[in-house]
Structure 1
C-alpha cells in the first residue's frame, strides 16, 4: 500500500512538473535560438536563479504583501456584497432576468476601462485600486451565485417541500449547499480577475509599491531579469491563490456532484 501511494504521489508530481518544464523549455529555445533579441530576453535559468535569490533575501516581501493585501481586501468586499445580491437575484428568475442586461453589460466591460471613473470617485490612493478590483470581482460572484441558486437541483428542493420544510429551512439546508460549487467557481474566477486588475492598477495608477509597480519600474529602468522575475512571482501568486481555493473547495464541498 505504501509503495502504491508513493507511486501515485510520484505520478502526480511528474504531471505537475510538465507545465513548468514546457514554459522553461520554450523560453530556453527562444533565448538560445535568438528568436528574440538576447538583450530583451535573458536566460530563463539566470532569471530563475536571480529571482530565487531575491525572494530568499526578502527583496519581494513588501511588494508581494502590498499586492496580496489589495487583492484580499477587494475579494472580501466583493464576497460580502456579491453573495447576498446573487442569492436575492437567483431566488426569483423574473428578478434576475430584469437586471440580467446590467450584469452582463458591466461583466463584459473591461475593468481597466473603469479606471477613470474610479479615479474620479476615490482618487489616486489604494481605495481606487481596491474599489475597481472589488467591482470587477463582485460582478463575477453575483453572476455565479445567482446562477447557482437558479439551477439548484429541483428534485432535492421538491423532496424537502414534500416533507413540509419551510422556505427558510429549504434555503439553509438545500439551496445554500447546492449553490456552493458554483459559488467557488465564481470565487476562483473573481480572485484571478482581481489580481489582474490590481497588477494593472499598480502599474498605471500612482502606486509606490506592489508587484505591478515593480514590473513597470524594472521595465522603465531596463532591469529585465528583475522584470521577468517579478512576472514569475506574480504568476506564482495567482497560481497559489487558485490552488488554495481548490484545496478549500475540496475540504468544504467534498460531496459536490453526488
Structure 2
C-alpha cells in the first residue's frame, strides 16, 4: 500500500513539474530579457513588477470587472453559436448532397478573417455590445457548423448498419448512434470556437467603442504607457483562453470517455 501511494505521489509531482515548466520558462526568459537588456527596458518591465501590479489590480477589483465583462461577451457569443450551429451542422451533415450545395458559402466565410466583418456588423448592430457579440458568435457559429457536419458525415457506418439491422428507426439511430459518434468532433469545434470567439471579442473591445473589457484595458494601458498593466492584462487574457480550453477538455473527457474505443 505504501509503495502504491509513493508511486501515485511521485506521478502527481512529476505531472505538476511538467505543468509548471512552461510558465517558469516563460517568466525566466522574460526576466533575463528585461534584466539583460535584450529589449529596451523602457518597453519591457520586469515580470516581478508586472505580476505585483496585476495582483494589485485584481485585488482592487478594477481588472476583475474587465475580466467579467469579456467573459460574459464570450459566453453569450458561444451560447448563440452553439444553439444556432449544432442543429444546422446536424442537418447539413445528415445529407452529403445538402452540405456540398452550401460548402462554398461555409468555407468562404470560415476563411474570411472575422475582423474584416466588423464594418458590416457595426452597420447592422451599432457600436454597442450587440455588434461585438454578434460578430464573435458568427465566427464561432461557422466553426461549429463545419465540425458538427463533419462529425455527422464521418460517423462510423458499421455501428449505424448494426443498429439498422436490429430494426432501429432513423430517429433512434440518430439519437443513440449518430449523436454520440458526433460528440468528439463537436467538442473539437467547441474548443476552436471558444478560442476564436475570445480573440474576436478582445479585438472588438480594442477598436469598437468599448468602455470596459480586457481588450479595452490592454489598448488603454498601451495609450497611457502603463506597461505593467498592459503586459499583465495580456497575461490575464491569455490565462482566460487557456482556462476556457481546459474546462472544455475536462468536459470532453467526462462526457465522451468512450472516444477512440
After TM superposition, the score normalised by the length of structure 2 is 0.97
1:177 pairs with 2:180: yes
- 1:124-152 CA deviation, whole Å, 9 max, x = no partner? 00000000000000000000000000000
1:76 and 2:79 are equivalent in the alignment: yes
* Deviation beyond 4 Å, 4+ runs, structure 1: none
* CA–CA separation in structure 2 for the residues paired with 1:10 and 1:190: 33
Which residue of structure 2 aligns with residue 115 of structure 1? 118
Q: RMSD of aligned C-alpha atoms? A: 0.8
Structure 1 counterpart of 2:64: 61
Residue segments in structure 1 that go unaligned for 5+ positions in a row: none
Provide TM-score, normalisation by structure 1. Answer: 0.98
2:40 to 37, 52, 73: 37
1:202 aligns with 2:205: yes
Quote the Cα distance in structure 1 between the aligned partners of 2:165 and 2:158: 10
Report the 3-state secondary structure (helix = DSSP H, G, I; strand = E; otherwise coil) of the residue aligned with 1:60.
helix
| 1-structure distance, mates of 2:63, 2:249 | 25
Residue 215 (structure 2) pairs with residue 212 (structure 1)? yes
Total equivalences in the alignment: 258
Question: Separation in 2 of the partners of 1:2 and 1:39?
Answer: 50
The gaps in structure 2 that reach 5 residues or longer are none
Counterpart CA distance in 2 for 1:70 and 1:207 is 12
Alpha-carbon distance in structure 1 between the residues aligned to 2:158 and 2:52: 56
> C-alpha distance in 2, partners of 1:155/1:7?
42
Partners of 2:105 and 2:184 in 1: how far apart? 24
Post-superposition CA distance 1:139-169 (Å, at most 9, x none): 0000000000000011101110111111100
* 1:1-258 paired onto structure 2 within 5 Å: 1-258=4-261
Task: Give SS of 2:28's match.
Answer: helix
